[in-house]
Chains A and B, each alone.
Chain A
Amino acid sequence: MVDTKIPPGAADRTGSHTGKSPAPVKGSKRTWATAASGRTAALLVSPTLLVLTVVVLYPTLMALKESLYGTKGLDPQTGFISDTEPFVGLQNYADIFGDAGDRFWNAFWNTTFFTVTTVGLETLIGVAMALIMHRAFSGRALIRASILIPWAVPTAISGLLWRWIFNSDGIANALIGHQVLWTTEGFHAKVAVIIAEVWKTSPFIGLLVLAGLQVIPKEVYEAARLDGAGPLAQFWRITLPLVKPALLVAVLFRCLDALRMFDLPYLLIGAQKNSVETLSMLAQNEASNVRFGPAAAYAVLLFVYVFLIALGFVRLLGADLVGDVGGPARTKGKSRLRRGSIRNSAEVPTA
C-alpha cells in the first residue's frame, strides 16, 4: 500500500549502496553515503514539495498577480461592459489605503486586537492549567481527557455553541443577571468572540507548557529549596525560564493562528459586522462577491502581516520551530547551533 511510491528499482539501487557501507564507526552513528542518501532524500521529499508548491506557492503568486486586476463590469473610461478583468496596477492597494481604507483599517485593528487579547489571556490561563495539571496526581487522566475536548470541538461548532450561550435569552445573560445583546454590534461582540476563542485554545497552550514542565528535572527544584527559594521565586527563576522555549513556540503558533481568525466571528456574530470583521473575513467577503482583485489585495496584505509577525518572533525571541533535526555534528557547540537555527528559520521567507 504505502510502499507503492518508491519505484522498486530506485529503492534497490540506494539499498545496495547503503548495504555495502561499512559498519557504524564509533562516534558517528549514521554512515550512509551522502550521494546515495541525497538521491533517496530527493526522491522521498520531492512529492511533498511538489504538492505544497501547487497548493501553497502557486496560489500565493496568483493572489499577488490577481491583486493587480480590477473587477469585471462597466469600464468608466469607455462605457463598455468588459468581460475580462482590467489591469489596474496598484489601484487596489491605493484604494485600501485611500477610499476603502476605513473598512481595511477597522479589520486590521480588529485582527490585531483579537490576536493580542486572546493570545495574552490564553497564555495566562494555559500556564495556570499546566501548573495545576503538573501537580495533580489524582484525576490526571480526567483532566487530560477534558482538556482535549475544547480542542476537538470544531471551531465552527463552537461558534454556534457560543452564539447559543450568548443568545439574549441564553445562559450567559441568566448567569450575569443582565440583559446584554452580545451578538449585536458593539464592544460586547468583541468580548464574546474573545471568550469563545480563549475557551477553545488555551488548553492547547496548557498542553504544550505541560510538556515543557515535565522535562524539568526534580533535582533543580530540590536544590533551589535547599538554597531557600520560596514557591514564587521557584516559579519566576526556574519554571518560567525553563519552559520559555516551549511557551514561545506555543505563543507563536497561537498568534499566527489568531491572525487568520475567521470561523468564530463569522458564525458567532456574523459577516460584515464592523465590530468583529477580521482581515480573513474581509478578504473572503470580497471574494464571495466576485471582487477577486480587492479580495486578493486584502489576502496579500494579511499574508505580509502574518509573515512580518512570524519573522519578528523568530528574530527577536529566537523561537526555534524545527528543533534539532541534525545529526552527530550538531551535538557540540550548543550556542552555535542555536544561532544557526535561528538564522535558518529566519531565512525561510526569503528563500
Chain B
Amino acid sequence: MTGIQRGGTAMDDLAPPAAGMNGALLSVRNLQTHFFSREGVVKAVDGVSFDIKPGEILGIAGESGCGKSVTSQSILRILPKNGKIVGGEILFQNEDRTVDLATEDADGRVLRDIRGKEIAMIFQEPMTAFSPVHSIGDQIIETIRIHQEVSKEEAHDQAVEMLRRVGMPNPARNIDEYTFNLSGGMRQRAMVALSLSCRPKLLIADEPTTAVDVTIQAQMLELLRDIQADLGMAIIMITHDLGVIAELTDRVMIMYLGKEVEHGTVEDVFHRPQHPYTRGLLASIPKMEPGRVEIEPIEGVVPNPYAMPTGCKFHTRCPDFIAGVCEKHDPPLTQVAKGHEVSCFLYGGRERLE
C-alpha cells in the first residue's frame, strides 16, 4: 500500500498506536460502532478505516443509515447512550503524543481537552450548537477560556476577531446577540466562529449545509474554503450531497450500511467510479448540464438495519451481483489505482476465498 496511509488490516491492529501514523493527524482503523436496543444490534459502523493529514479536506458521503454521522460521533465520543465503540482505534496526533480516542474515557480529561480545542464540530442545525439563553459572544468567550489561559478581555477580542473572519457584518455588535435574533445564515456563521474559536487542527462538519437554502449553502462553502486556506485546519465533511463533496473536498470515502465501499481522490471517484454503488449513486443524481441527461435509480430499498444482508451489504441491490460470492463473503478493499480503493469482488479478492 504505497502512496496512501491506511490501517485496518488485521496485522496493523497488533501494532502499537504510535506506529504507522505516517504523518496523519487522525487515523481511524477498523472502527466498529454498534447500537444496542431491544430489537437487536445495529452495526452502524462496521470496520471503517481512513486517515486524514493536517490541512486536508476529506469527504465522507453516503445515504441515510450508512454510518457517516456515527463515524464522526465516534471520533468525538459523543455517541447516544446505546451506542458503543466495540472495536478498532481512533488515533489522534495530539501535539507529540498519539492518543487512541476509542479507548479514552468519554468524559475524561483527555477528551474534554481535545473536544472543542483540537477537534471541533459543526452541525446541521446551528440552534443545537448554541444555548438560547446566553449571547453568542458569551458562549464563544467561555469556549476560549476553557481551553486557553487568557483574560476575559483578551478572549472577547479573539471572539470578535473570529466573528469578523466568518463574515459577520458587525462583529463588535453581533457578539452580544442571541441566536434567535440571528437569521439562519448568520447563525451558521456564528456556529463556525464558535467551533473555530480555539483554532482546532480538525473540523468535523456534519451536514452543515443541508438545512439551508442554496444561496446560503454557496456562502457557507465559500466560507469553509476561505477559512481553511486561512487557518489551515483539516476538515472532515460529512454529507449526503455529492455536489458539496465535489465542490469542497480533496478525497472522498463513500459508505454504505456501515462499510466503506470506495475511497479515493474526488477526481478518481467522480470521474472513474468503480464500485457499483458509487456508479449507481452518481447515475441517480440529476445534473446541471444542458440538454436531456437521463438518471438511473438504484433498484430496491436500503435493507432493514436489524436484518443486514450477509456478505457484501450492497448485493441485494447490485446490478453486477455475482451469485455464490457476493452474498457469502465480505469483499476486501482492493486497490484499483494509486490511492483509489474499492471493496468489491469485481476488482479482486475472489482468488483468496478458497
A binds B: no
A interface residues (Cβ-Cβ under 8 A, vs B): none
